[in-house]
Structure 1
Amino acid sequence: MDARKIIGWNLRKFRVAKGLSQEKLALEAGIDRSYVGRVERGSENVTISTLELIAAVLQVTVAALLEEPESGSPRPQPLSSGRKRRGQRSAE
């Protein structure tokens, strides 16, 4: 797996684990939402500076975004789309 795919894989894994949409992550990191999508798909060469911004929002190290996933690991699932029901909303 090439570095861009590894970064994208880990970005999605950590983002979904935090319950953040691409839009929310981008807003908090000060980057464009479509850029986050391109990074997750592995089609964007991301800079170290941008990785630092993303890692800070996700509360992980830059190194964690560069770790190769274990062989055979299932692809991280996306967040469910749409609005959450009233009882499912988390305190923001």
Structure 2
Amino acid sequence: MRARDEKYFEIIGKNVRHFRISRGLSQQSLAVLCDKIDRSKISDIENAKEDFMMSTLLEICEGLEISLNEVIQDHGDSFYSTMGRNSSDN
């Protein structure tokens, strides 16, 4: 991934984690809801460690029952502060 794109991947990762946790899903539970996506891929996306295809992001949105807009929008720090502190795979 290009350095100039890192902030976008970080925003998407924070949003995936936020919506996953707010729905009470573990990374594994979300992976089960998504076609052809495993837990490690979800972890990589949440931690902005890896580039991914649009189809992967759309599949995650479907699993989380959210729109693409919700997952790409920067909601601001206060939005994310509702997440648990130890939430890497909650």
TM-score (norm 1): 0.77
Larger Rg: 1
Looking at structure 1, the residues matched to 65 and 49 of structure 2 have their Cα atoms a distance apart, in angstroms, of 24
Looking at structure 1, the residues matched to 32 and 41 of structure 2 have their Cα atoms a distance apart, in angstroms, of 11
Larger proportion of helix: 2
Looking at structure 2, the residues matched to 16 and 29 of structure 1 have their Cα atoms a distance apart, in angstroms, of 16
Structure 1 regions of 5+ residues with no counterpart? Answer: 82-92
Q: Deviation string for 1:10-57 (max 9, x for gaps)?
A: 000000011010001011102111010010001111211011100011
Percent identity (aligned): 31
Looking at structure 2, the residues matched to 26 and 63 of structure 1 have their Cα atoms a distance apart, in angstroms, of 20
Task: Tell me by how many angstroms 1:69 deviates.
Answer: 2.5
Question: Residue type matched to 1:50 in 2?
Answer: T
- Residues 80 and 23 from structure 1, CA distance in 2 versus in 1: closer, same or farther, beyond 3 angstroms? closer
1:18 to 19, 23, 32: 23
- Residues 46 and 24 from structure 1, CA distance in 2 versus in 1: closer, same or farther, beyond 3 angstroms? same
Structure 1 match to 2:83: 76
Computed over aligned residues only, the root mean square deviation of the Cα atoms, in angstroms, reads 2.0
Task: Tell me by how many angstroms 1:80 deviates.
Answer: 7.8
Q: Tell whether 2:12 aligns with 1:7.
A: yes
Q: Deviation string for 1:44-87 (max 9, x for gaps)?
A: 112110111000111100111001121x4327332785xxxxxx
Structure 2 regions of 5+ residues with no counterpart? Answer: 1-5
The count of residues paired between Structure 1 and Structure 2 equals 80
2:43 to 37, 41, 47: 37
